[in-house]
Amino acid sequence: MALRFKNSLTRTKEDFHPIEPGKVRLYTCGPTVYDFAHIGNFRTYIFEDLLRRYLKYKDYQVTHVMNLTDVDDKTIRDSRAAGVSLKQHTQPLIKAFFEDLDALGIERAEHYPAATDHIPEMVAMIKQLQDNGLAYEIDGNYYFKISAFPDYGKLANLDLTELKAGARVATDEYEKDSVSDFALWKAWDEDDGDIYWETELGKGRPGWHIECSAMSMKHLGETIDAHSGGHDNIFPHHENEIAQSEGATGKRFVRHWIHCGYLLVDGEKMSKSKGNYFRLRDVLQRGYNPLAIRLLLLSTHYRKPLNFTFEGLKGAEKNLKQLQAFLRRLERERTTVAEGPKSLGIGMGGAGVAINQAKDEFAKALTEDLNIAKALAAIFEMTRVVNTMLDDGMVLQEEMEQASEALLGFDHVLGLKLDEVREGEGVDAAFVETKLAERAKAKKAKDYARADAIRDELAALGVIVEDTPQGTKWFYAK
């Protein structure tokens, strides 16, 4: 079954067929490294990681490029304000960005080109646009002439009938009501200090939008399979990328545009300018597990808005623990619980059915526009059913193996590092066994107070002990 994604360009769900069968060229807009990324940014980056992981899970060979915007209005403004060079300002933030990616379990893209390493490619593209009658120069600034590009507005669905001829905008970011010719290259002025490049276009620096067009083309070619970013990238950034790239080559730039919805705070988009943001570090300092943040940001369908609350984060932490505990329980019971009554085979096999159902539903949900909420629901249902069956001693050892294999398989897509928490996390199984042996001895000696004390001690460590007709069982609290 073909994968389907909603294409922001056509505003419909479309089958996904890459240009070259089996290979995907994916470009995602990366951070502007003027400050630490906030968790709203990471919602988009985690979604893109899900997209990338899912494509790989479906056996596509993915070449993923994420740019680093290390020169634009904001990086220049902030490095100048701090009295340091552009590089001195951006380098530590790039390092911090990669640390955050690792903490959140975001896989590395194949390439992270930096804008400042691609100035010649940008200059060449601007010259090509000028040759094609789509760019013009005023006082050393170069602008894209949107009236000469009839497709302008097709992504953001703009009505250009009211367009004021000759209106220009020099800033990198602007709202829809100021649709106008936008800057490709900005001539040096004294606010730029020593941040400029001497090029065939004169002394200056690139506009933000040309950076992505040039880097995408350099690393992935003229037409790519998929391009994504957050919803706010649609206009003006991606609209302008289309104009520049298609204006330069005359070819289609991107086949599938896929955009992620906002992370909100009290119903408003989380953003630096509104001040309603949390950096990843701010949340980690409060003691939260980064993978719980990942699960939270991942678990709502990517196109829907998601309201961030610490209550929600606590819920995600609980859900993550539940998956970790389930996996540990499977691992442990697979090796320690004797077949016992199960070998009789009565009523057995139900767990296998639940596991296969989860696998089917997981695959189906993701095929249809990456419906992660549905895919996760299938996993939690499997966890619930198999846990209950384990309580009743109704799971065959091969089914325990199947369940843990299925869960680890799902985790290739989820990226929750479940394989890293099986061993050594929480209380050591050998320690529990020693305590249980001590408890059995106490019970035999009719020292019930001591037996109960051991049980309470384990409970305080998150280990639940149950006496069943098949003997004493224990598991990690869900």
Judged by the rule CB under 6 A, the positions of this chain that interact with ligand AMP are: 29, 31-32, 40-41, 43-44, 229-230, 232-233, 260, 262-263, 269-271
The three state secondary structure string of 159-202 is CCCCCCCCCEECCCCCCHHHCCEEEEEEECCHHHCCCCEEECCE
Residue nearest to ligand AMP (CB): 230
Minimum distance from residue 83 beta carbon to Zn ion (Å):
28
Q: Looking at the DSSP assignment, which residues form a beta bridge with residue 110?
A: none
Query: Cβ 122 to Zn ion, closest distance in Å?
Result: 13
- Residue 72 CB, shortest distance to Zn ion, in Å, is 10
Question: At closest approach, how far in Å is the CB of 226 from Zn ion?
Answer: 13
Q: What does 271 bind: Zn ion, ligand AMP, none (CB cut-off 5 to 8 Å by kind)?
A: ligand AMP
Tell me whether residue 115 or residue 394 sits nearer to Zn ion (CB atom). Answer: 115
Considering only residues 26, 29, 65, 351, which one is a binding residue for Zn ion as defined by CB under 5 A? 29
212 binds, among ligand AMP, Zn ion, none (CB under 5 to 8 A by kind): Zn ion
Shortest distance, CB of residue 471 to ligand AMP, whole angstroms? 51
**Least distance between ligand AMP and beta carbon 61 (Å):** 24
Rounded least distance, CB 18 to Zn ion, Å: 20
**212 is a contact residue toward Zn ion (CB under 5 A):** yes
- Phi/psi zone of residue 457: left (φ > 0), alpha (ψ -120 to 50 degrees), beta? alpha
Length in residues, the chain: 478
Give first-to-last CA distance, the chain, whole Å. 35
Residue 230 contact among Zn ion, ligand AMP, none, beta carbon within 5 to 8 Å by kind: ligand AMP
Residue type, 375: A
Q: Between residues 47 and 142, which has the closer beta carbon with respect to ligand AMP?
A: 47
Give the one entry of ligand AMP, Zn ion, none that residue 44 binds, where binding means its C-beta sits below a cut-off of 5 to 8 angstroms depending on kind: ligand AMP
The entry of ligand AMP, Zn ion, none that residue 425 binds, CB within 5 to 8 Å by partner kind? none
Distance CA 471, CA 478 (A): 21
86 binds Zn ion (CB under 5 A): no
Q: For tokens 């193996």, what's the residue?
A: 401
CA distance readout (Å), 26 to 207, 236, 256: 22, 20, 10
What pairs with residue 38 in β-bridges? 279
Hey, how many other C-beta atoms are within 10 angstroms of the C-beta on 63? 18
> For residues 199 and 245, which CB has a smaller minimum distance to ligand AMP in the complex?
245
Which residues lie below 8 Å from residue 258, measured CB to CB, with a gap of 6+?
A: 5, 6, 7, 8, 51, 226, 227, 228, 302
Listed ranges 29-37, 104-112, 119-127, 417-425: which one lies at the site for Zn ion (CB under 5 A): 29-37
Residue closer to ligand AMP (CB basis): 361 or 369:
369
Q: Which does 16 bind (CB under 5 to 8 A by kind): ligand AMP, Zn ion, none?
A: none
Separation between Cα atoms, residue 258 and residue 252, nearest integer Å: 16
Nearer to ligand AMP, 42 or 476 (CB): 42
Q: Which residues pair with 306 in a beta bridge?
A: 263
Q: Which uninterrupted H or E stretch holds 131?
A: helix 119-131
Toward ligand AMP, which CB reaches closer, 105 or 229?
A: 229
The continuous run of DSSP H or E covering 464 comes out as: strand 463-468
DSSP SS3 for 400: helix
Min dist CB 172 to ligand AMP, Å, is 9
Choosing among Zn ion, ligand AMP, none, which partner's interface includes residue 262 (Cβ < 5 to 8 Å by kind)?
ligand AMP
Q: CB-wise, 271 or 307, nearer to Zn ion? A: 271
- CB-CB contact of 183 with 169 (8 Å): yes
By beta-carbon proximity to ligand AMP, the closer residue of 276 and 388 is: 276
Please report, as residue ranges, which positions from 339 to 398 form the binding site for Zn ion (by CB under 5 A).
none
102, HSE (Cβ side, Cα atoms, 13 Å): 6
What token pair was written down for 22? 């089996």
Give the Cα separation of 380 and 383 in Å (integer): 5
Q: Which one, 230 or 415, has the nearer CB to Zn ion?
A: 230
Contact 367, 3 (CB under 8 A): yes
Query: With contact defined as beta carbons under 8 Å apart, do 294 and 46 qualify?
Result: yes
Size of the site for Zn ion (CB under 5 A): 2
Query: What is the Cα–Cα distance from 98 to 105, expressed in whole angstroms?
Result: 11
263-265 and 268-269: which strand pairing? antiparallel
Nearer to ligand AMP, 206 or 230 (CB): 230
Of the listed pieces 23-31, 146-154, 363-371, 420-428, which binds Zn ion according to CB under 5 A?
A: 23-31
Minimum separation from the CB atom of position 315 to ligand AMP (A): 19
d(CA 478, CA 323): 8
204 binds, among ligand AMP, Zn ion, none (CB under 5 to 8 A by kind): none
Minimum distance from residue 411 beta carbon to Zn ion (Å): 30
CB of 441 to ligand AMP, least distance (A): 57
199: its two tokens: 């090029």
Cis ω for the linkage preceding 236 (within 30 of 0): yes
Nearer to ligand AMP, 262 or 410 (CB): 262
Q: What is the binding site for Zn ion (CB under 5 A)?
A: 29, 212
